[in-house]
Amino acid sequence: MNIHEYQTKELLRGYGVAVPEGRVAHNVDNAATIAEELGGERWVVKAQIHAGGRGKGGGVKVASSIDEVKQFTDEMIGSHLVTPQTGAEGRLVQRVLIEQACAINKEFYLGMVIDRATQRITVIASASGGMNIEEVAKTDPDRVIREAVDPAIGLAGFQCRKIAARMGFAGKQIGEAAKIMQALYRAFRDKDALLAEINPLADIDDGHLMALDAKMNFDGNALYRRKDITELRDFDEEDSKEVEASGHGLNYIALDGNVGCIVNGAGLAMATMDAISFHNGKPANFLDVGGGASPEKVGNAFRIVLQDPNVKTILVNIFAGINRCDWIAEGLVQAMRDQDIKVPIVVRLAGTNVEKGAPILEASGFPFIMADNLDDAATKVVAALEGAT
Ligand code: GDP
Ligand code: MN
């Protein structure tokens, strides 16, 4: 789960990371009031969306007057900000962060991720921070520092100082950078994060280090024990179909193809997507209806998959163990009765009660396209696609 920059900064401030003074505004008047209260002569207006690369898309602007603060806020709020990370349709901006601007000497990168290969939180740092860090990582990987943290010891002081020195800090700034690393690590560990990033970590004109941008991503499976983080969730930033699906206990992830998938089991769902791709189709989603898929669950699965206007055919692939094919078949027939489903539906049933399931579908009179196995199902759904488009 992602949170906004202003929320991440608030969180990190609590851990002792220096962040600029600022507050979030929902409209032009708010923004002007906040800028006046902050004081100073220059302010930064920053679009709050769950995507990076805002600087490149016009979502970060330095204002030199209250009028400019108003103007930039007006331009950003209500607009669809397109950045290298949003896709062409962009993201609707509903709030901006107004901060006191500072003069930057140099921008650094400091991040932490869980490295699945070593199973350790790993610090990633670079002296080449700022808006082109992705470019640096690609073209000049030697400029990216990596340091794994031993979970039994935690992030050790000597590691922080070593990283800080390699980032090019000297004197008092080594200690300051080390303190920020420790704080970021504690926040990461305490809150079950998957990623924490400060970019830029800026060396500013008063000689101190400050986190000018911050981003954190949290493990959805740990949210049950992180109430404070769960409260920061912004449903507007998430795919509405995914939000609805999670409410129904369905595991749904939207993709950009046109073959809808309704499958039981995450592994089978992955295999189904692979089979569709193998036959030159493109899955529109990942959807795992889970073990005990009731007719209601099947109905909800159809409703959610069909909310995606790109879906031209649907492949239902059930390998029933705990599930029972006859119940699934009843759910399918019910969904056809309740919903106005116009796209071709290919069904592959296997496992428990399969001999009872198939006759239910045949007797229903609905034009289900039956498949014998996964490969047959993928072939048929892609063929149906050609007929449908
Ligand atoms: P991102 O593009 O979404 O990562 O947004 P950032 O918050 O990182 O902002 C992009 C760039 O704007 C930074 O790399 C800085 O160069 C610049 N920037 C951000 N805050 C300030 C500030 O307070 N003062 C100045 N002068 N520039 C800033
Ligand atoms: Mn940034």
Residues with CB under 6 A from ligand 1: 20, 44, 46, 52-55, 60, 62, 101-102, 104, 107, 130-131, 199-200, 212-213
> Does the pLDDT value for residue 112 go beyond 90?
yes
> Does the pLDDT value for residue 320 go beyond 70?
yes
Q: Indicate the pTM of the whole model.
A: 0.83
Q: pLDDT tier at 322 (50, 70, 90 boundaries)?
A: confident
Residue 55 CA: which ligand 1 atom is closest? 2
Q: Compute the half-sphere exposure of residue 341: CA atoms within 13 Å on the CB side of its CA.
A: 27
- The rounded distance, in Å, linking the Cα atoms of 217 and 192 is 9
Residues 59, 93 contacting (CB under 8 angstroms): yes
Instruction: Residue 319: name the closest of 373, 281, 364 by CA.
Output: 373
Task: Give a three-class secondary structure readout of the chain.
Answer: CECCHHHHHHHHHHCCCCCCCEEEECCHHHHHHHHHHHCCCCEEEEECCCCCCHHHHCCEEEECCHHHHHHHHHHHCCCEECCCCCCCCCEECCCEEEEECCCEEEEEEEEEEEECCCCEEEEEEECCCCCCHHHHHHHCHHHCEEEECCCCCCCCHHHHHHHHHHCCCCCHHHHHHHHHHHHHHHHHHHCCEEEEEEEEEEEECCCCEEECCEEEEECHHHHHHCHHHHCCCCHHHCCHHHHHHHHCCCEEEECCCCEEEEECCHHHHHHHHHHHHHCCCCECEEEECCCCCCHHHHHHHHHHHHCCCCCCEEEEEEEECCCCHHHHHHHHHHHHHHCCCCCCEEEEEEECCHHHHHHHHHHHCCCCEEECCHHHHHHHHHHHHHHHC
Burial letters for 151-186: b for 16+ Cβ neighbours within 10 Å, e otherwise? eeeebeeebbbebbeebebeeebbebbbbbbbbbbe
How much distance in Å is there from the Cα of 340 to the middle of ligand 2? 45
> Does the pLDDT value for residue 361 go beyond 60?
yes
Determine which residue's CA is closest to atom 26 belonging to ligand 1: 103
How high is the mean pLDDT of the chain? 94
How much distance in Å is there from the Cα of 344 to the middle of ligand 1? 49
Q: 26-85 pLDDT, tens per residue? A: 999 999 999 999 999 999 999 999 999 999 999 999 999 999 999 999 999 999 999 999
Residues 376, 384 contacting (CB under 8 angstroms): no
Q: pLDDT tier at 388 (50, 70, 90 boundaries)?
A: low
> Does the pLDDT value for residue 321 go beyond 80?
yes
- Mean pLDDT throughout 113-130? 95
> Does the pLDDT value for residue 141 go beyond 80?
yes
How much distance in Å is there from the Cα of 214 to the middle of ligand 2? 7
Locate 60 and state its tokens: 């970060």
- The rounded distance, in Å, linking the Cα atoms of 121 and 244 is 32
- Single out the catalytic residue among 109, 147, 252, 330: 109
- Mean pLDDT throughout 112-120? 95
- Mean pLDDT throughout 257-283? 96
Ligand nearest to the CA of 49: 1
- The rounded distance, in Å, linking the Cα atoms of 84 and 16 is 31
pLDDT score at 134: 87
- Mean pLDDT throughout 293-302? 87
Residue 20 CA: which ligand 1 atom is closest? 23
- The rounded distance, in Å, linking the Cα atoms of 132 and 276 is 36
192: phi > 0 → left, psi -120 to 50 → alpha, else beta; which?
left
Q: 2-36 pLDDT, tens per residue? A: 999 999 999 999 999 999 999 999 999 999 999 99
Q: pLDDT tier at 302 (50, 70, 90 boundaries)?
A: very high
Q: How many CB atoms lie within 10 A of CB 119?
A: 10
Residue 100 CA: which ligand 1 atom is closest? 23
- Single out the catalytic residue among 99, 107, 197, 330: 197
How much distance in Å is there from the Cα of 363 to the middle of ligand 2? 59
Residues 110, 215 contacting (CB under 8 angstroms): no
Residue 212 CA: which ligand 1 atom is closest? 20
> Does the pLDDT value for residue 139 go beyond 70?
yes
Is 109 a catalytic site residue?
yes
Locate 102 and state its tokens: 């500072």
Residue 104 CA: which ligand 1 atom is closest? 26
- The rounded distance, in Å, linking the Cα atoms of 91 and 243 is 17
Instruction: Residue 234: name the closest of 9, 49, 56, 84 by CA.
Output: 49
Residue of higher predicted confidence among 131 and 171:
171
> Does the pLDDT value for residue 165 go beyond 80?
yes
> Does the pLDDT value for residue 213 go beyond 60?
yes
> Does the pLDDT value for residue 389 go beyond 60?
no
- Mean pLDDT throughout 218-240? 93
Pocket test of ligand 1: the residue of 4, 44, 201, 216 to mutate, having most ligand atoms within 8 Å of its CB, is 44
> Does the pLDDT value for residue 377 go beyond 80?
yes
Pocket test of ligand 1: the residue of 7, 45, 131 to mutate, having most ligand atoms within 8 Å of its CB, is 131
How much distance in Å is there from the Cα of 134 to the middle of ligand 2? 11
How much distance in Å is there from the Cα of 44 to the middle of ligand 2? 13
Is 185 a catalytic site residue?
no
Pocket test of ligand 1: the residue of 208, 209, 213, 215 to mutate, having most ligand atoms within 8 Å of its CB, is 213
Determine which residue's CA is closest to atom 21 belonging to ligand 1: 101
Instruction: Residue 286: name the closest of 276, 295, 299 by CA.
Output: 276
pLDDT score at 87: 86
Locate 66 and state its tokens: 């209250």
